[in-house]
Amino acid sequence: MDQQAPTQQKRLMRWPEVERVTGISRATLTNMSARGDFPRPVQVSVHITAFLSNEVFEWLEGLEHRRVQYSPKRFKRAGNKGEQPCG
């Protein structure tokens, strides 16, 4: 057995599944793919496009290094000094 086998088996992912897994709409994913910010789908047949699952999951893993850094000042409201943000 290959010890470097991926934890996820490579397979095709159709648009609804990619939208569900990423939480991003099809329109946004299309724009991101066109800019090179998201994997491009492959043409499976004349009427079917799909994504390679390993590319989608690699993209998701890459997001771990893109954490947003918030400044505490960003959450202070004028006139409410010292209060914690709602939510």
Please say whether the beta carbons of 14 and 22 come within 8 A: no
The tens digit of pLDDT for each residue in 25-38 reads 999 999 999 999 99
CA angle 39, 43, 47 (to 5 degrees): 130
Please say whether the beta carbons of 52 and 12 come within 8 A: yes
pLDDT score at 1 = 42
Residue written as tokens 């960003």? 74
Is the pLDDT at 83 greater than 50? The verdict is yes
The tens digit of pLDDT for each residue in 40-76 reads 999 999 999 999 999 999 999 999 988 888 877 766 6
pLDDT score at 70 = 80
Of the candidate ranges 13-17, 64-68, 79-83, the one whose mean pLDDT is the lowest: 79-83
